[in-house]
Amino acid sequence: MTLNIILLGPPGAGKGTQAARLEEEKGMVQLSTGDMLRAAVKAGTPIGLQAKAVMDAGELVSDEIVSGLIGERLDELGGETSVIFDGYPRTAAQADALDAILAARGRKLDHVIELQVDEDALVDRITGRFSCAACGAGYHDRYKQPKTPDTCDACGGHEFKRRPDDNEETVRTRMAEYRAKTAPILPIYEARGIVGRVDGMAPIDEVNAAIEAILG
Ligand code: ADP
Ligand code: ADP
Ligand code: ZN
């Protein structure tokens, strides 16, 4: 059965970490608009040039750009692929666009999983976040260290990187954007009876188990 799910939660809630686990364990594909935008910035495409300053400030890139990226990426996947929307939708307009994007492709949303976290923990999570420069695997200075120091568990790489927007000031703006524009879309999905809530403060394995229990 093909699944279409949204992982919803503020910056640092663990969306990317959990999406990677679902890719490994369930064969699902993660569609992260943040990753797509960072790739566009790196490649210097017109979208990347437009998005860079907005991302550095912790504000939201335009609805048209991100919904366009999601539609394109879905078209590259086969219709049978199960997908995880990570960091999308983030506004009511994006939630509407996603409904249309899915309907046009014969897909429907199965679950919206809200990762509930304590805001005080988020700055700590985000300022300690880093990833493998070669394969993108995600780590944390204290909560998810590589098994062998300075060596990526996934690919054996030795080079790591940090995001320019993972600093305390930008994180505060990103959290404010989440509260103002993203949290208000939850009631749309609650009315459809598809919201599942998970304690995002639990250890990574427990969060993963709780999500997989919802997916069945
Ligand atoms: P995190 O999950 O840590 O909050 P993301 O990687 O999802 O961060 O997003 C990084 C930045 O990319 C955001 O702060 C925003 O500028 C931009 N961005 C990503 N996804 C969206 C989206 N759906 N709508 C608007 N802007 C987005
Ligand atoms: P998001 O994609 O929602 O912005 P990430 O998945 O990148 O968040 O997680 C942010 C940071 O917190 C990463 O460094 C990650 O290793 C760490 N992290 C993720 N989930 C947990 C957890 N349940 N407990 C402790 N640290 C976590
Ligand atoms: Zn790696």
For the cut 90, the answer to whether the pLDDT of residue 119 exceeds it is: no
Ligand nearest to the CA of 122: 2
* Cα–Cα distance measured from residue 119 to residue 124, given in angstroms and rounded to the nearest whole number: 10
Residue nearest to atom 10 of ligand 1 (CA): 34
Residue nearest to atom 13 of ligand 1 (CA): 55
Catalytic annotation present for 90: yes
Ligand nearest to the CA of 19: 2
For the cut 90, the answer to whether the pLDDT of residue 5 exceeds it is: yes
Residue 14 region by backbone torsions, left for phi larger than 0, else alpha for psi between -120 and 50, else beta: left
For the cut 90, the answer to whether the pLDDT of residue 107 exceeds it is: yes
Catalytic annotation present for 108: no
Write the DSSP symbol of residue 144.
B
Q: What is the pLDDT of residue 78?
A: 83
Distance in Å, CA 55 to ligand 1 centroid: 7
Q: Which of 38, 90, 125, 144 is catalytic?
A: 90
Phi, then psi, of 110 in degrees rounded to 5: -95, -45
Region 57-75 average pLDDT? 97
Q: What is the pLDDT of residue 1?
A: 84
Q: What is the pLDDT of residue 120?
A: 86
For the cut 90, the answer to whether the pLDDT of residue 44 exceeds it is: yes
For the cut 90, the answer to whether the pLDDT of residue 41 exceeds it is: yes
Mean pLDDT of the chain: 97
Contact between 118 and 10 under an 8 Å Cβ cutoff? The reply is no
Question: pLDDT grade, residue 11 (50/70/90)?
Answer: very high
Region 73-97 average pLDDT? 96
